[in-house]
Amino acid sequence: MSEAVAAYFEEHRESHDLGRRALRGGIVSIVIQYGNAVLQIVAAIVLARLLAPEDFGLVAIVTVLTSFAPLLIDFGLLDATAQRSRVTPAQVSGLFWVSAGIGMAVAVIVAACSPVIAWIYDDSRLLPISLCIAVTFVLAGLTNQHMALLRRTMQFGRIGRIQLFGTFVGTIAAIAAAMAGYGYWALVLRPVTSAICVVIGTWAACPWRPGTPVFDDEVKSMVRFGLHVVGFTVAYTLSRAVDRIALGLLYRPDQVGYYQNAMNLYDNSIYAALNQTHAVGSSALSKLQANPAALREKYEAALSMLAFFLMPAAAILSVTAEDLTVVLLGQKWQAAGALLSIIALRGISHVVEGSQGWLHLSLGRADRWQTWGIISLVAQVGAVLAGLPFGPAGVAWGVVIGYSVIALPSVMYAGRPIDIGAALVIRAVGPQTIGAVATVAAGWWLQATLLAGVPALLRMVLSGCFCACVDLAIVVGVFRHVEPLRIAGTIIQDLMRKR
């Protein structure tokens, strides 16, 4: 085994600069992820002007119904490889062939179910869309363990560049197809093209190649760990998808299209950063499995810093959502902007709720994570059903309220094995939460009064600056919470020196 490959299989050890490495990796990956998000938004701007809301609704119905499939393919084995203290190339080969086999099986099942999907929604166009989307599941099974090894060695910048490459090529292909008049097929082509590029990128970045598999007791243990992870992720993904599934059954495709594009803007702004920090947080904290006190300390610091930057970002997005959507996507998408204004509020509690996975995975308690996923699914089904009679806006409010209620209990449950409770979470995010809520209230008041007659672009800029000042005045001025700024400045200086 070459020295380059051997580096991927070194045993986890706590290091004196772990916190700095994790923060640096987190900042780099989030910056790249926001570059990815910019591409996604550019694609949304162009495609929204070339395609009809119905086109987005049709593809959204299929992608939401099949959103669980990548999780089955992953099978939790990516997290299992990244989290495990010690792993061998033969064991990773075994996990690779498991993922590849699951990817093929899921693709066959989705293809077989495509006539059923078309029949349930009474639209024959859904059949060929489902068949094409199934191809992406085969490709996903080929990248799982390569991504795990890159994450294991904390190469988050490289992972981000691979994802950026896939997004860029997929975006170009989709825009070209839309301009050529292919309608909703442009939206189908994008994920297929992106998946092909990610396969090429991961295999080029990670020199390890699968060989003869080994299925020893350690691999079986990792598969059991993965089963619990996939149990959570399937339940959690269904809880995130139940809103669009329900809307698709009771409302027109264009209504689903408005809701879907609102969710796309939220996902490419707030959720994108949270998704990147999950990979960084779980990988870094996993190296502290043997030191619960250090794990608690690093978790509190990371959560505090994340809340400092993302909670006000969610507040600003909520205040400026309608103007932002109209400026980016055009006047015909104004209804999506109104929905985004509600959905963005979820970002305030999402920072807390999204961090639970760091604890479950770093402690090796994926079984508890799976249990919480089921609780989250039940809560969201109830929230969506409560809001469904009131249309897309009612569903959006139901989702925001539902997730806000379970945010603090989710971390209290995850942190119970190492005595992380409500007091630690409130200490970490209390000032930021108060600042974000006050910012939303002040921003909405400004929009409705002083800026009511101002042009959309200027109103968006003025509101964003006003909200940022309000948040800083409360969090930094009133609560004197400046540590995240100091840490961020130090990391940025380090990165500039390396450059």
Per-residue pLDDT of the chain (499 residues; tens, 9 = 90+): 566 666 666 665 555 555 555 555 556 666 666 666 677 778 877 888 888 778 888 887 787 777 667 666 666 666 666 666 677 777 788 878 888 888 888 889 888 888 888 888 888 888 888 888 888 888 888 887 888 788 777 777 788 788 888 888 988 999 999 888 888 888 888 888 988 998 898 888 888 888 777 677 777 777 777 777 777 777 877 788 888 888 888 887 788 888 988 888 898 788 877 877 776 666 667 667 778 888 888 888 889 988 998 999 999 999 999 998 888 777 878 888 999 999 999 999 999 998 888 888 778 777 888 888 888 889 989 999 999 999 899 999 999 999 899 999 999 998 888 888 899 999 999 999 999 999 999 999 998 888 888 888 899 999 999 999 999 999 998 998 887 777 766 766 665 666 5
Cα–Cα dist 295/290, whole Å: 9
Cα–Cα dist 68/73, whole Å: 9
Longest dimension (CA), the chain: 69
What would you report as the CA-atom Rg of the chain, rounded to the nearest whole angstrom? 22
Q: What angle do CA 180, 184, 185 make, to 5 degrees?
A: 65
For residues 312 and 387, is the Cβ–Cβ distance under 8 A? no
For residues 120 and 62, is the Cβ–Cβ distance under 8 A? no
Token pair for residue 222?
A: 């990792």
pLDDT at 446: 92
With 0.85 as the threshold, say if the pTM is over it. no
Cα–Cα dist 413/227, whole Å: 20
pLDDT at 435: 95
Q: End-to-end CA distance of the chain: give it in Å, rounded.
A: 32
What is the sign of the dihedral through the CA atoms of 328, 330, 335 and 336?
A: negative
To 10 degrees, what angle do helices 292-329 and 346-354 make? Answer: 150
3-state SS record for 385-417: HHHHHHHHHHHHHHHHHHHHHHHHHHHHHHHHH
Cα–Cα dist 145/71, whole Å: 14
For residues 222 and 84, is the Cβ–Cβ distance under 8 A? yes
